[in-house]
Amino acid sequence: GAVVSQHPSWVICKSGTSVKIECRSLDFQATTMFWYRQFPKQSLMLMATSNEGSKATYEQGVEKDKFLINHASLTLSTLTVTSAHPEDSSFYICSALQGLAAKNIQYFGAGTRLSVL
Amino acid sequence: ILNVEQSPQSLHVQEGDSTNFTCSFPSSNFYALHWYRWETAKSPEALFVMTLNGDEKKKGRISATLNTKEGYSYLYIKGSQPEDSATYLCAFHAGTASKLTFGTGTRLQVTL
C-alpha cells in the first residue's frame, strides 16, 4: 500500500516552454502533498506544501508564479514549471502525506529529472 | 534554517560487514526523526519514524537509535548485503508543522 506515482520521470524541454509534472497517490487519499527539489550532492529542499482544495504554501525564496501547484483532487497534485530556463534544470520529487499525524509518514514518487535546453 | 547533517557522505563496505551512520539535528523543538532508504531510480522508502528519546527501532538487519537531548540518531546495518546499497536519508520533523527537513544522505555501497 501507500504508492505514489510521479510522471514523467524524465523530461527535456526548450527554454521558454512550460512543463507539467504529476504526482498521484494510487491507493490512498492525500489531502497534503509536498514538492521538493534536489540539486546535485544536496539534500531534498522543500519547495511547497500542496493542500487539496486550497492554495499551496511556498517556502521562502520559491517563486509561486514560476512554480504553479494545483491540488484539485485528493489523489493528484501537479507542479508546472512555467517559462522554464536552464537554471530550472533539476530533480523534482513529490511526496504525499498519509495516516496518523503522529507518524506523519510521507510517501514519495520516484522523481522527475528536468533538463531545460 | 534547520541544520540536519549526515555522516559520512558515502561509505563502501564489503558483504557481511556491519556498518553505521549518523544523523544530527537540532535538539530543540523536536517532534520526530525519520529515516528513509533511497535506491537509485526508485522512490525513497520510509524505514523508521522515531519520536521518543532513547527509542530504538528494528527492521530485519537494520536498526536505529535516537537521542533527542543531544540531537543525533544512528542507523545500523548488520551483515550488509549488496541489496542494502542505497542512499539513507534522515529527516527532522520540528514542532507541529508537517514538513520535514532532510539531510544530504549517506550513500552506502556494498560489494561482494
pLDDT band at A100 (very low <50, low <70, confident <90, very high): low
Peptide bond into A8 cis (omega under 30): yes
CB contact under 8 A, B4 and A41: no
Torsion, Cα A26 A68 A66 B3, to 10 degrees, reads -60
* Bridge pairing between strands B10-14 and B106-111: parallel
Distance to chain B for A17, nearest Cα, Å: 26
Q: Does B94 touch chain A (CB under 8 A)?
A: no
CB contact under 8 A, A104 and B98: yes
Query: Which residues are B35's β-sheet partners?
Result: B48, B90
- CA–CA separation, A111 and A94 (whole Å): 7
End-to-end CA distance of chain B: give it in Å, rounded.
40
| Residue pLDDT, tens place only, B13-72 | 999 999 999 999 998 889 999 999 999 999 999 999 999 999 999 999 999 999 999 999
| Residue pLDDT, tens place only, A17-41 | 999 999 999 988 888 999 999 998 8
Q: Is the pLDDT of residue A104 over 80?
A: no
Residues of A with CB under 8 A from a CB of B: 4, 6, 32, 34, 36, 41-46, 49, 93, 97, 101-111
Peptide bond into B8 cis (omega under 30): yes
Supply the pLDDT for residue B81. Answer: 97
DSSP code at position A87: G
Residue B33, judged by CB atoms within 10 A of its CB (0-12, 13-18, 19+), counts as buried
Supply the pLDDT for residue B97. Answer: 72
% residues pLDDT > 70 (chain A): 95
Pick A101 or A90 by higher pLDDT. A90
For residue A111, the chain B residues in CB contact (below 8 A) are 43
For residue A105, the chain B residues in CB contact (below 8 A) are 34, 46, 49
| Residue pLDDT, tens place only, A48-72 | 999 888 899 999 999 999 999 999 8
Say which of B31, B43, B105 has its CB closest to residue A108: B43
- CA–CA separation, B21 and B33 (whole Å): 14
Supply the pLDDT for residue A101. Answer: 52
Q: Does B99 touch chain A (CB under 8 A)?
A: yes
What's the average model confidence in pLDDT over B75-96?
94
Cα-based distances in Å from A85 to A64, B44, B102: 15, 27, 26
Say which of A41, A93, A106 has its CB closest to residue B100: A106
With contact defined as beta carbons under 8 Å apart, do A71 and A52 qualify? yes
- CA–CA separation, A115 and A95 (whole Å): 21
pLDDT band at B107 (very low <50, low <70, confident <90, very high): very high
